[in-house]
Chain A
Amino acid sequence: MKRRKRLFFLGLLLSCMIALCACSGSTENEGNEQKEAENGEASKNGGSVIVGITNDLDSLDPHKAVAAGTKEVLFNIFEGLVKPDKDGKLVPAVASDYKISEDGMTYTFPLREGVKFHNGALVTVDDVIYSLKRATGLLETSDPEVRVESVFSCVESIEAITTEDGKQGVEVKLNQPNIELLSYFTISIIPKDYTEQATKPVGTGPFRFVSYSPMVSIVMEKNPDYYVAGVPYLDEVTFKISANTDAAFMELRAGTIDIFQQLTYEQSNQLKDLYNIEIGNMNLVQGLFLNHKAAPFDNLKVRQALCYAIDRQMILDIVAGGSGTIIGSNMFPGFGKYYDETLASYYTYDTEKAKQLLNEAGYPNGFHFTITVPSNYQAHVDTAQVIVEQLKKVGITAEIKLVEWASWISDVYQGRNYEATIVGLDSNLSPSDIVKRYVSTARNNFLNYSNEQFDDLYQEAAASVNDEEKVELYHQLQRILTEDVASVYIQDPANLVAVNKKLAGYQFYPVYVQDMSTVYYK
């Protein structure tokens, strides 16, 4: 009896020691693997990369995924008829070309020949029509989980055609002119009637799906049949899911992640010696968004006072070490010619002017309001803290209220039950997408913004089929938002990315993606 007990304790101790030994043993193995990887880097091809992400995927089905963090991953597996390049231009992908009719009513896409799905099957016109119909809500039996963009309500029909030079293709007819719809044809092309998309996704992209383990990782490998010769370079890419940025930071310090984006400035500073830090734009409109139905934000003078009271340069300095691009309206530089950069300096930091405006508005002693901030974005939380401090100086008391993302969507974005909020708004590459929420009847007008002049101009801009005219109209729209202070626009935040020093080819896009097909070992 006693002996047995002693044996039991001995067993306990032994198991502990075994565990410890096993632990150190596996570290050695890891080292060997790394060495192997090092040996294989003689050519540009080969090698595997681990990309750290902090949001688990919301779906593997590209038509069901809505989270930006998921789309950035699936970009590597799926492609649309067209896809964005790094300058924001749309280039043919599954389609070999595209044509928009002059009246802006018909889009024609001849298919690229010989594009194969990851399951080996050739992409047919039927697959393309199925994919487009599924994503536009035109299938006879629709799946309620598929997210249909509201802009697709203008799609009249999708049909197979044979182009003049005898190629197979599809033709999309609209019921009203729209020359900006092209950026929506990035919707993923998937095999017709394939039912396992949510568990074993099949696409046409540079990488093909290998495995997915919830909360752990998604693994993809090189697609040898990819239609661009020589692309991709890497054999394998793993997107590793971390619980949060802090946990990921520890892994970065340990060198187990090769690429990680959206670091805070301080984090990037502490990784400088281990990684190349690449700086791009997040392509977001970060702002202090105001509910125009909540007093006193219905008062233009109060809104203007906020613009003068907030020192945007200081926000950049404190939160991001000075990086980021200050913006003055609801658009970011990624939009190129449509973006009006002159508006960034429309309001300057001037507390005296702010106080004077508050006085005129009838709030000589300031007022009190709450800023609702989604708690999962540290950059927004930090920005909110700086703004609270700055507003104190003009007598305005702001209080921060942190909410979960799901609560933010349902209470703030859909319920419009808030006073002010700080978030980053992203967008499709079409300029109408980013400003249309300010149309007074827009469903996603969570700001309750209402301005007839804006509404009319927007209709004109969206319907215009002349690009030059469009540029001019979008500039005017941005100016209205700035002058009328639809909200306080802060910045397009900098995207700080840590990249393994042995890697090259990491590219920034004006949309929210992480393209691994261009990355290679030096």
Chain B
Amino acid sequence: MGKQKNRLNFIVGISLVSFALLLVIVGIFYTPYDPNEMNVLAKNQAPSLSHLFGTDYMGRDILSRVMEGAFTTFFVGIATVIIGATIGSILGAVTGYFGGIVDEILMRINDAVASFPSILLALVFVSILGTGKYNVILALGILFIPSFARVIRSEFIIQKEMDYVKSASLLGASHIRIIFLHIFPNTKAILRSAITIGFNNAVLAEAGMSYLSLGVQPPDASLGRMLSESQTYLFGAPWMALAPGLMIVITVLGFSLLNEGGAWHE
């Protein structure tokens, strides 16, 4: 019963994600129009055959911009998760495994970062490094470290007491070997869901930062930026919100379904 549901989740999830990925990959090589090309005569046009998702307030083709924007958003999401997951996992593993004073100090720093308002940190990065997607990635990546560290740490605390770890230790395996070869593989399931949640949160956080104009720089498109630009046009040109909004929902929903269905896959 549960298996069947997971299968369905997996199928729907993979289809949604594949669809989004396909659009992104096609977008790298081909877009119907130049995503940044403006056309005075084609401002705020409703969806039609020549512009499938309509045009925005500067006469730019929304479909092309969504394709480009989705790439930016995916890039930001994936890069953020890579930073957060790598550093967070290592921190979590070390602190969880060894415990003691290092654990205490790192976890307090962890708490401090976690309780720090994200926009302030984002602002600092943007001000020091200038604006653009790389700084969004850096800011979000650092913000995401604590949650990964916490998850992995608690998993390590449980795992290190288990028999297989004790026996490996008795057999003379080094700490590093135990951490990376014995325990890490067992945190795979939890890491996978942390990564999908992290990716989704990164996509949503990018949108939030765009709303506070701390996100990706214009004229570059990102789904969050397009969505936040569309708010004024909800009455006159609602399609401006439709395509980027749908794309975000498809991506985030796809990944969370995939995550739930992942258990079936294994």
Contacts and interface: CB of A to CB of B under 8 A. Distances in A.
Interface string A234-263: 000000000001100100010000000000
Contacts of B132: 401
Nearest to B39: A318
B170 interface: no
Contact of A266 (B36, B38, B217, B232): B232
Interface string A79-120: 000000000000000000000000000000000000000000
Contacts of A246: 231-232
Nearest to B38: A389
A507 B128 CA distance: 43
Contact of B40 (A249, A317, A402): A317
A269 B218 CA distance: 23
Interface string A381-413: 110111011000000000111111001000000
A318 B43 contact: yes
Nearest to A406: B127
A266 B57 contact: yes
B235 A253 contact: yes
B61 to A, nearest CB: 13
Contact of A402 (B38, B44, B131): B131
Given A249-B232, A270-B232, A318-B43, A385 B219 contact: yes
B30 interface: no
Contacts of A403: 131
A267 interface: yes
Contact of A318 (B40, B218, B233): B40
A388 B232 contact: no
B37 interface: yes
Interface in B177-223: 213, 217-219
A270 B235 contact: yes
Contacts of B43: 318
Contact of A401 (B58, B130, B236): B130
Contacts of B218: 381, 384-385, 400, 402
Interface residues of A, number: 28
Given A270-B232, A407-B127, A400 B40 contact: no
A402 B216 CA distance: 10
Contacts of B231: 246, 249
A295 to B, nearest CB: 20
Nearest to A313: B40
A314 interface: yes
A168 B234 CA distance: 60
Contacts of B219: 385, 388-389, 400
Contacts of A388: 36, 219
A266 B233 contact: yes
Interface residues of B, number: 23
Contacts of B232: 245-246, 249, 264, 266-267, 270
Q: Majority SS of interface residues in chain A?
A: helix
Interface in A465-494: none
Contacts of B245: none
B58 A386 contact: yes
Interface string B118-153: 000001000100111000000000000000000000
B59 interface: yes
A378 B188 CA distance: 46
A384 B236 CA distance: 24
A368 B235 CA distance: 39
A163 interface: no
A375 interface: yes
Contacts of B38: 318, 385-386, 389
A264 B40 CA distance: 16
B244 to A, nearest CB: 16
A375 B236 contact: no
Contact of A314 (B36, B40, B217): B40
Interface string B31-54: 000001110100110000000000
Given A270-B232, A270-B235, A401-B131, A389 B37 contact: yes
Given A385-B218, A402-B217, A266 B44 contact: yes
B186 to A, nearest CB: 38
Interface string B97-134: 00000000000000000000000000100010011100
Nearest to B37: A389
Nearest to A399: B217
Interface in B233-247: 233, 235-236
Task: Point out which of B123, B232, B233, B235 has the most chain A C-beta atoms below 10 A from its C-beta.
Answer: B232
Contacts of A382: 58
Nearest to B43: A318
Contacts of B40: 314, 317-318
A389 B58 CA distance: 11
Interface in A205-222: none
Nearest to A321: B43
8 contacts: A266-B232, A266-B233, A266-B236, A269-B236, A318-B59, A385-B38, A402-B217, A404-B123
Given A249-B231, A381-B218, A400-B217, 6 more contacts: A269-B236, A385-B36, A385-B218, A389-B36, A389-B37, A407-B127
Interface of A: 245-246, 249, 253, 264, 266-267, 269-270, 314, 317-318, 375-376, 381-382, 384-386, 388-389, 399-404, 407
